[in-house]
Structures are given as structure tokens and as C-alpha cells.
Structure 1
């Protein structure tokens, strides 16, 4: 479970109790360096943030790489679209293939832009992961309050975070029950079980929401959460 894993990692950080403002300003410094340094500097910054994150969270580099691999696929798709260009003048291409009356290939400008975008994105992404993995959710709420973020928005973030765990908990319970009944033994049966899981998940989350609303009514909820 991604959300559960992130939550556990936050509390095992060496900086778990550090003031959230200091973490936020440290993240701002990392982001400023990620966007201002040349590609070589961004690569060095990436290595530093990776080592710093692993030390703070007492985790292996392999586990950090697994976390980074989650958004890496989306990043690579964007890099490919920058790297390859369509042109009618193949003389400017470093290499390419002809597709009808046009050529698909790599221009020197596209290669330079893709290289700069890749390292900038990786450095900024590692810095953002550093903040997420070192900022427990209660500290995030405290940071939003001190930044005078509108109370309604803060409450919405709190409720969404809570319902993420409810959604994952219900999905895990349904999947476990289906697995015990060999619901994923074959591919067609797995598709049917998945469709059933989605429909049941929607129903059970609505029931949990109604239970939460009833609990708030019993406690004389007046429209404001204690933050």
C-alpha cells in the first residue's frame, strides 16, 4: 500500500519531530538548486538528495529507487516526446527514419532539451520525495495552518487523506476475500473478480461515509473540524 508505506516512513525519519517550517525551507532550497543548476550539477544534487533521504529514513537505496520508479514512467514518456521530432529536412537530424514524406528523428536541440529536462525533473522529483517522506501528515496540517491556508481547503485535504486509507483498507479486505476463494486463478476469472471488487468498493466506501456522517451528527458536528 503506497499511502500506508509513506505514512510509516514519515514517522521513522530522523527528522520526524523537526519543525515543519525548516523542512519546507530546506525543500525550497533544493528546488531552487534543481531549477538553476546545469545538468551536471543537477545530477550531483540528485545523488546527494538520494543519500540524504536514505540516511534520514534508515532505508536502502534500492527501496528509494523503487519509490522513484513510480513516476519515472510518466517522466520518460514526456522525455521521448521532447527527444523525437518530425521534420522534412533530414540533414539536421542526428539520426532518424523516413515515414512517408517526413522524417522522424532526433535533432541536436531536441537532445539538449531532453537531457536538461530529464536531470531537472529527476532533481526536482527527488527533492519533492524528500519532503513527502520526511513530513508526517499532522505536520503538514500544522504547516498549512501557519501559512494561513483557508480552513475549508485544509479540512478537505484532511478528509481526502483519511478516505485514502479507508479506500485502501476496503480494497485490501475485498481482494483478500476473493483470493481465498481463488478469484484470480485464471485471467478471465481475475477480470470478473476485479470488476466485482470495483463495484463492491464503491458501495462499501459509501457505507463508511454514511457511518462517518452519523458519528459526526451524534457528536453535534457544527461544520468545523478541530485542526
Structure 2
């Protein structure tokens, strides 16, 4: 998360208006999620990879590393859709029967799983494009312009802040445990891990109180104010967005 925040403030697209980047990412994600074919999500992943690596100037290894994070969750999800267990072996495309129980996949289920997997990857790449090129404060400004309730944007900002507090506190506690040989064996690892969670809960609660006190000392009145830079509106970017989105929408219509 720290590297994502650093790249959001230092990428080559940091001067682009956040509304333009948000519009491009959100429209592309909707097109990806509504795609009836596997071609559109593949194009979107390549498009977002090109935007992140070549336009934003973010290293390719960072993008690949981030894309590998949700891969395990997606594989578990699609495997439960692709494979079925039944006592009736009929209708399976590929199957293996063991003691009267058939484990296999049906062709429609396999196609559905592949579609779901690729759509999810495409949607995740859109979110990574937005996260890696747009700071959280600018996203909050965009949401405020969209008349999103203040309570939602404030919760987003506080949760985002506490992700870093949570990670920093957990890293500090684990480093202290490692220096005291807390993970030299399986038994000590379980014991140290349980103590880490219990200590983490108390320390994060204390830090949340400290954060609220610091906000109250700065005249917090129930609304968090964020400072953002003013970015010029570039009409050519909107033309580029239209030029990229129209072929994808037409591809979806032809795929239906």
C-alpha cells in the first residue's frame, strides 16, 4: 500500500485532471464487467497495463506484482464454478468417477468460469490504474463533486489512513518478535502470532484515539477538509477516452 501511495503522487499522469482519469477507469470497468466475450477483458488488461507502464511510467514489475495479489482469490472462486461433484456422470465435458462420485466440469460452467476470471482481472486492472495514478485526496475531491455523502468520503479517508497505521504497527511488533526468536519453531510461531493480533488490537485502538485528539486539536468540526491541486481540463483527453471506449462498446455489442 505504501508503494501504491508513492506512485500515485509521483507518476507521469499526476498532472492529469482526476475526473478524466476516474471517468476513463470507471467507464472501462463497466464495459469490462458487461462484456459477453473474453476478448474485451483481455484488451482492457493490455490497455490498462500500457497506461500504467508506458504512460504513467510505473515499473512493469510493480503492475505484475499487484495483479498477482488477487490471482489466488480469483482462482479459488472460478474453480468452484468450473468443477462440480455429482453422482450422475451425464452432462460432464471432462470428468473422473471415483466410487460412484463424479468430479468434473461441464462446458457451460467452464466458459462461465473463464469469463468471470477475465472480467475480474480486467476490472482489477482498471482499479489499479486509478489507484496508481490518482492520490486519495483527489479521489475524495471527485466524489465530493459527485455529491457523495460526506460521511462516506470521510470513512474512506480514515480507513485508507488506518491501513498504513495498521501495517506499520504490525511490522513493528513482528520485528520485535523476530529479534526475540519468536518464530523459530511452529509452536512459538503460533504463540507469537496470537500475541501479535492481541497487541495489534490494543495499539491500533490507542492510535485511533490519538488521531481523533490530533484532529480535535486542529478544530475538527465533523468534516475533513483536504487540499488538492487545481488541474486544467484537457479536451483532448476526453476525445482519447471516447476513441478508446467506443470500439470496446461496439465489440461488446457485436459479441452479443
Could you state the TM-score of these two structures normalised by the residue count of structure 1? Answer: 0.88
- Aligned to 2:12, the other structure's residue is in SS state coil
Gapped runs of 5+ residues in structure 2? Answer: 227-256
Instruction: Give the 3 Å change call, closer, same or farther, for CA 220–51 of structure 1 in structure 2.
Output: closer
- Aligned to 1:36, the other structure's residue is in SS state coil
Specify the alignment match of 2:10 in structure 1.
12
Please give the alpha-carbon distance, in whole angstroms, between the structure 1 residues aligned to 2:47 and 2:223: 42
1:59-208 aligned at under 5 Å gives the runs 59-208=58-207
> Is 2:11–2:58's contact at 8 Å kept on the other side of the alignment?
no
How far 1:39 moved relative to its partner?
1.0
**Deviation readout 1:187-214 (Å, 9 max, x if unpaired):** 3222222222212211212222222333
Please give the alpha-carbon distance, in whole angstroms, between the structure 1 residues aligned to 2:113 and 2:208: 45
RCO greater where, 1 or 2, for CA within 8 Å and sep 6 or more?
2
- Aligned to 2:181, the other structure's residue is in SS state coil
Specify the alignment match of 1:45 in structure 2.
44
Specify the alignment match of 2:242 in structure 1.
none
30-39 vs 159-168, which moves further: 30-39
Please give the alpha-carbon distance, in whole angstroms, between the structure 2 residues aligned to 1:165 and 1:108: 44
Please give the alpha-carbon distance, in whole angstroms, between the structure 1 residues aligned to 2:181 and 2:162: 28
Could you state the TM-score of these two structures normalised by the residue count of structure 2? Answer: 0.79
> Is 1:12–1:57's contact at 8 Å kept on the other side of the alignment?
no
Q: Number of residue pairs matched?
A: 225
Please give the alpha-carbon distance, in whole angstroms, between the structure 2 residues aligned to 1:91 and 1:208: 59
- Aligned to 2:96, the other structure's residue is in SS state strand
